[in-house]
Amino acid sequence: MHPAPSVIIFSTLSGLGFGLLFWLGIDLTPPTGGVAFAFFFIGFALAVGGLLSSTFHLGHPERAWRALSQWRTSWLSREGICAVAALCVMGLYALCLIFFATHIVILGWIGALLSLLTVFTTSMIYAQLDTVPRWKTPLTPALYLSFSLAGGALLSGRITIAIALLAIAAVIQIFWWIRGDNALTISGTDMGTATGLGERGTVRSMAHPHTAPNYLVKEFIYVIGRKHAQKLRVIAFVLTFALPLVILALLPFSHILAAIAVLSHIAGVATSRWLFFAEAEHVVGHYYGMR
């Protein structure tokens, strides 16, 4: 799958932003005044910035409001509704904390739940697709949720929780990668079932429909990054989990080190998300004899 920068930026930043908003929402003793403003500003900047970025890959961003209408069947529609609801509720919760130093517990919990639901609906956009076997697994929502919760804990300075959640997310990431490498083969879809000619013999693509790559090839058969996939996995793993864990667990606390841990985590998540797309094989590749 083509790793569109706008979608990678969206899922990286929004995941972190909604993760941070979750932890702020369930905080028993949340910050108020200026400190609250700083935390909520970061949360909203990440979540809203990511959402705005995601509209850049649309053919007609001016019609994006229509995407709120099909919640009955479409995970993308559900994501839009959850995101808007989460931002509205958390916005109200934040205003009360910042300007009135008033902690409305129930509002925080509803906002936190909606924030997590947003991340879940994002992950289901991918996990629902039979056409991309690498994504079609309950491990995909687990991956997105664990990343979001761990990143949010890290951003909100919950060190003990962040250490535990980063470790959990790391394990899910490894399982997700291992399962994904065989997913296409296990799916049972191949050139034989794609063409219906598999029982007659070995099917080989002799000629593509056109001499140059088309939209389908560019969007669904992205092979450029695969050469370096293993190296990038190691880089993603070190940046997302290993370095932040070392800083949090072994080194004395300092704001500079904490900032390094956060930046390293963000860069790592972005790398992991790039791989999420670049490594994913769409079954339409079978028609082109490619994967």
Partner 1 sequence: MTDLPTQTDRSLGLVIDLDTCVGCHACVISCKGWNTENYGAPLSDQRPYGTEPMGTFLNRVHSYEVQPEDGTAQTVHFPKSCLHCESAPCVIVCPTGASYKRVEDGIVLVNEDHCIGCGLCAWACPYGARELDQEEGVMKKCTLCVDRIYNENLPKEDQIPSCVRTCPAGARHFGDLSDPNSDVSQLVESRGGFDLMPEMGTKPVNKYLPPRPKDSWDDQSLLAPLLKPVAEEPVGFLGWLDKALDKLPGGSA
Long-range CB contacts (within 8 A, 24+) of 9-13: 9/49, 9/50, 9/53, 9/270, 10/50, 10/51, 10/53, 10/54, 11/50, 11/122, 11/144, 11/273, 11/276, 12/50, 12/266, 12/269, 12/270, 12/273, 13/46, 13/47, 13/49, 13/50, 13/53, 13/266
Regarding 34 and contact with partner 1 (CB under 8 A), the answer is no
Q: Choose the stretch contacting partner 1; rule: CB under 8 A; options: 37-45, 90-98, 198-206, 241-249.
A: 198-206
How far is the C-alpha of 47 from the C-alpha of 11, rounded, in Å? Answer: 9
Which of 7, 16, 4 is closest to 268 using CA atoms? Answer: 16
Q: How many CA atoms lie within 13 A of 86 on its CB side?
A: 32
Regarding 227 and contact with partner 1 (CB under 8 A), the answer is no
Regarding 52 and contact with partner 1 (CB under 8 A), the answer is no
Nearer to partner 1, 60 or 255 (CB): 60
Regarding 196 and contact with partner 1 (CB under 8 A), the answer is yes
Classify residue 209 by its DSSP letter.
S
Regarding 224 and contact with partner 1 (CB under 8 A), the answer is no
Regarding 259 and contact with partner 1 (CB under 8 A), the answer is no
Regarding 77 and contact with partner 1 (CB under 8 A), the answer is yes
Evaluate whether 126 touches 132 at the Cβ level (below 8 Å).
yes
Q: Choose the stretch contacting partner 1; rule: CB under 8 A; options: 41-49, 140-148, 155-163, 206-214.
A: 206-214
Q: Shortest gap between Cβ of 205 and partner 1 (angstroms)?
A: 6
Q: Shortest gap between Cβ of 153 and partner 1 (angstroms)?
A: 31
Per the document, the length of the chain is 291
Q: Of the candidates 28, 202, 231, 256, which one interacts with partner 1 according to CB under 8 A?
A: 202
Classify residue 135 by its DSSP letter.
T
Nearer to partner 1, 69 or 185 (CB): 69
Q: Shortest gap between Cβ of 48 and partner 1 (angstroms)?
A: 19
Evaluate whether 141 touches 291 at the Cβ level (below 8 Å).
no
Q: Choose the stretch contacting partner 1; rule: CB under 8 A; options: 24-32, 34-42, 212-220, 224-232.
A: 212-220
Q: Shortest gap between Cβ of 16 and partner 1 (angstroms)?
A: 22
Distance, C-alpha 51 to centroid of its chain: 12
Regarding 131 and contact with partner 1 (CB under 8 A), the answer is yes
Query: Could you list the residues that contact partner 1 (CB under 8 A)?
Result: 1, 57-61, 63-64, 66-70, 72-77, 80, 125, 128-132, 187-189, 191, 193-197, 200-216, 219-220, 282-284, 287-288
